[in-house]
Each structure stands twice: as C-alpha cells, then as structure tokens.
Structure 1
Amino acid sequence: MTSPTIYTSPAGERQVRTWCRDRLGSWATRHRTHTLETGLGATTVVTAGQGPGVLLLPGTNFCAATLLEVADALVPDHQVIMADLPGQPGLSTAHRPRRRRLAAYGRWAGEVAGQVSGGPVTMVGHSLGAAVALAAHPGPQINGLVLVSPAGLSRARLTPALLGVTLPWLAAPTPVRSQALLRYMSGQSRARTGPDPMLTAWMTLVARHSRTSLAPAPLPAPVVRRWAGTPVVVATGAADCFYPPARIGGPARALLSTDVVAVPGLGHLGPHEDPALLPALLGRLRAARFSRR
C-alpha cells in the first residue's frame, strides 16, 4: 500500500519540483541529472565532477538543488553524487516509507551506492541523511562515512525556542518566518550576513506546499556498531541547536569509537554555512583510512 504524498496539493508539488529543476538548470557546473529505480520508488540523482565518489545524503527538507554551493566545494577533487531522499521535498518520489522508515532508507542508500559509481563511495550524510547512512549495511561499495550534525545517534534537542520559530513557520509560512528558523539553526558564521536568500525561498516554499517529517529516533546500538570496522568521521557545529557535541559525543565514542569534531562558529546547517567544511572532513577521513593500513 502506497503512503500518502508529502505534498499538500498537485499544484504545490509542481511548484516545488519546478523550483528544483530551475535551480539545477541554472547551475554553472557541468552535471548530469538522472533517475534510478529503487525499492522506495523513483530516485533523482545529480552527478558532477570526477575522482573518488562522494554520495551526499541531505537532511530533512533539503535536496540536491539546495546543495549546489556545497557540491561546488567538492567538485574539484571528487565525483559528487547527490541523491534526493524519497519522501522529502525535491525530485524523487513523494512517498515516504510507511514502516521501519530508517531501515527502509538504509536499504535504499545501499541500492543507490551500488548503482551510481564504478567504485566504492564515501557516504556523506547531514542530519537525517547521516541517520540514513548509518542505517545502511556496510559493504565493499561504501569505503567510509562522514556524518555531519547526525541524527540517528541521539534524540534531537527540542526547546521552547525551537517551537517559537518552528510553529509560526509551519502555520503561516513567510520569508520572515523562514529567516527566523534558519537563523535559529545557524551558528555565528551567519550572524552578520543573515540567512542565505536561496534557503529562505526554499524553506518558505516547502512549508507552504509539503508536510515536514520529524527528526528520527536513535538507531539501535547494534545497527550503528556495524560500522565499527569502517573509517568514520563525526562532526557537528559547536552551536548546533539539535545535535550539539555534548549530546552526540557519548554515542559516537561508545558505538563508533570516534570523537566528535566540534566545529567553532557553526550551527546545525554547517555544510551550508561553510562549504569548506566537507572537504576538510573528507581530509580527516582519508587520514583515518590511512592510519588503519
């Protein structure tokens, strides 16, 4: 039985998808957009660059079209593969898994990793995307994980301040309310310049036309421990409002045998706040991989 669509109307779905296609169409970097058939349905994948494969898995309410500046920082040295999560706003299927959602997403991530590259890929997951990466099964098609502000290790920190910016944004979305939410999710790096206008437009659009999903519960410890033999880097913004270093540090050490990289000045939107973040973390992963030899 198919789950309901995440969009509030067919017209709203068209607006979201048109926004994504227009943004990808204006991207100056040479790229390819194609569709994969997966167990969760049609999945849109955007690929750019050459080199070691990096599979980017976005967080809740984000997609490939919102990651172009992030991808541009990686393209000089990597083949960047961005996959829109099924059941999240973007160009993939509009239906979420009905049951055991993270387990289903994990199987989906393995399918995508096996189809998109001629060699093994590094999974780079942000927020929900990190939980999806952790839910995947280790195998030869995945040579490492970079988990940024990861869901899946602990419950998200929910505060009255978060409700104060989230509920108005959901009830009656406006650019001003989207900016307030983005400001709350960002760190000091955005204090002077304010939220990215592109993200403001996107968050307003998705709040008007789609049904957001909640942060996932932590994954079972045995699922996370499957990655103990794989190089893993875990990082979060020092000012992350959902997954601060103190909240995920214990699970990362206990389950993955790694410390958390706390990045000064950044919040929950670290890859968007500083596109140089992911190249730096991939450098850490290469060092960790070399030390295992």
Structure 2
Amino acid sequence: MLLAVDTGTYRTTAGREAVQEWCRRRLADWSTPHTVRTIDTSLGSTVITSVVRPDAQRTVVVVPGELSCGALLTPLIDAMPDATVHVADMPGQPGLSSGVRPRRGRASADYGRWLEDTLTQIGAPRPVLLGIGSGAAAALSATCRSSVGAMVLVRPEGIVPVSRPDGRLLRRRTSAHGTSRAVAALGGQNFRPDDDLVEWRLLVSTHCAGMRADRHISERRLAEWSHAVPLEVVAGSCDPVLDHRRLDDQVWEITGRDTTVLDDCGHLPEHECPRALTAAIERVDRRVRT
C-alpha cells in the first residue's frame, strides 16, 4: 500500500513524458555498460540504474535527492571505477521513478521507509550509502542500520537551516542562457555547468512543480547513524545554500567528527567535483575494513 497521496511532481502529463524521455535518451547514449530496472516500493515504482563491475572493491547506493536522478549522474558513476554502483531515482523528484510524493509533513518518515524498501530489493550486502541533499535526509531517516556498511552525506538537508535558491530554478525559464547563469550561481567560482546539466535544469524548471519537504532531521537520527556505521559529511566551501560552518558546528556537536569541506566547491559537489565524493566513499569504506 502506498504511503503517499500527492502525485504533483509534473505540471502536465506531457511534461512528465518530456522529462522521462530525456532520461531514457541520455542513458541510451551512455557508453558505460549498465542496466535499468523498476521495483515496487511504498512510494510506487522506483527505477534503479546500475553499473555492476565484477572486480569491484565496494558497492555504492546513491540517493540523488532534489531535482536529480540517475540519468543526470552518469559522470558521478563513471568517477567510481572501482565500485558497483546503484542509483535509485527518488519518487516525487524528476526522473524515471513514480511521481508519487510523501504525505505533507511526513516526507522524512516516508522517504526513510522507501529507502529501506529499495535497499532490500537491491540486495547488496552492506553497501556504502551516498545521500545527496534531500537524499541525505532520506538516508538519515531510514532505520536499517544493520543493512548499511558506511554512509557519506553530501550537502545534507535537515541538519541546519538552509536558504532555498534552488527553488528559483523551478520558475519557468525560456532560455538556456538564463538557466546556465542560475546554475552557475550555485557553484564555486570556477564552476561552469555543462550543456547537459543546463538542458536538464531548463527542462525541470519548465515541467516540474516545487516541493515542500520536511526541513528537520532530529539530532538523534544523525547520532544513531554515526554510532552505527562509519559516516562522513561533505559540503562545499562556497555553497550559497548551506553554510558549511554552521553545518560543521552541528555535525561536530552531534558526532564528534569534522565536516569535510571541499575548496572552491559550491552547492553541487556531485557535478563540480565528483572525484572528491569518490575519495570520501573510499575513506569510509576503509574504516569499515579496519
């Protein structure tokens, strides 16, 4: 039985089809061997994009978060050549999964249960969980600690208050130039979004509606996860949305660990510096093995 009632991810059926066709086309053009499958979860159908490497040193499950999906994150997957990678498109976000959204005021709990369903069906033994933005909030909301080997949280939502310039990207735009400027403003000084990211954000701003998610993850959740598995929090030094100093203070107070701050990186580390996220994954994985 579905836990959610709101299916308003897309403004129109044609908009949903346009977004999903973009995803299918991008995955079809991707040269890395991969599979795409659909599973049933508490938030409806969920699409998993997987790259299975026989000689992989680890398995990583990626939860992309807001305004993102597996098709958009192919460069991030390619930056993990030593890992088997599964990316789960979050229902209620643009991508190939269901448009079903969590109940109002229940996003954290509903996404936590959704992630537990998803990890069970992926079936990887104790993977490294990489949560990005609202995907990090979903990771912290899950309770399946014995099923996860380690965790990396990238610009996590819900630990400290954030401003919401990302919401401006859901205003309808008519030009790639305006979209490119808006996306570039989220990054570090040297960040220049590539054409695919700009095209995606323009498509999303045209066809997708905004989402009011739960904004707070309890300190208890972060503390419990930090005691259960090796955990690293990552943020950009130039992030205009999330103040890395406030985040570091809060993470230190709760976990006793510093936040990893990426120099000259803004709000989009998964696009600006994917290899830095690979390095974080390798660090927590080494802690699992020692």
TM-score, normalised on structure 2? 0.92
In the TM superposition, residue 243 of structure 1 has moved relative to its aligned partner by 1.6
Match of 1:88 among 68, 84, 93: 93
Instruction: Report if the CA contact (8 A) 2:65-2:132 is conserved.
Output: yes
Instruction: Report if the CA contact (8 A) 1:166-1:181 is conserved.
Output: no
Aligned to 2:102: 97
One-letter code aligned to 2:288: R
- Rounded Cα–Cα distance in structure 1 between residues aligned with 2:16 and 2:132: 24
Structure 2: runs of 5+ lacking an equivalent: none
Q: Deviations over 1:215-250 (max 9, x none)?
A: 641212222222132110111111011123212112
Alpha carbons of structure 1 residues 108 and 153: separation in structure 2 relative to 1, 3 Å: same
Aligned to 2:116: 110
Aligned to 1:35: 38
2:149 maps to 1:143:
yes
Name the stretch that deviates more: 26-35 or 212-221.
212-221
Instruction: Report if the CA contact (8 A) 1:125-1:148 is conserved.
Output: yes
Instruction: Report if the CA contact (8 A) 1:17-1:90 is conserved.
Output: yes
- Rounded Cα–Cα distance in structure 1 between residues aligned with 2:170 and 2:107: 25
Aligned to 1:10: 13
- Rounded Cα–Cα distance in structure 1 between residues aligned with 2:124 and 2:151: 18
- Rounded Cα–Cα distance in structure 1 between residues aligned with 2:242 and 2:286: 25
2:185 maps to 1:187:
no
TM-score, normalised on structure 1? 0.91
Structure 1: runs of 5+ lacking an equivalent: none
Instruction: Report if the CA contact (8 A) 1:55-1:121 is conserved.
Output: yes
Q: What is the percent sequence identity of the aligned residues?
A: 30
Secondary structure, aligned partner of 1:234 = strand
Instruction: Report if the CA contact (8 A) 2:173-2:179 is conserved.
Output: no
2:262 maps to 1:257:
no
- Rounded Cα–Cα distance in structure 1 between residues aligned with 2:156 and 2:273: 17
Alpha carbons of structure 1 residues 55 and 179: separation in structure 2 relative to 1, 3 Å: same
In the TM superposition, residue 149 of structure 1 has moved relative to its aligned partner by 1.0
How do 1:1-293 residues align onto structure 2 when only pairs under 5 Å count? 2-50=5-53, 51=56, 52-74=58-80, 76-99=81-104, 100-158=106-164, 162=165, 167=168, 170-190=171-191, 194-214=192-212, 216-229=214-227, 230-290=229-289, 293=290
Q: Deviations over 1:104-143 (max 9, x none)?
A: 1011111111211341111101111111111111422111
- Rounded Cα–Cα distance in structure 2 between residues aligned with 1:253 and 1:138: 23
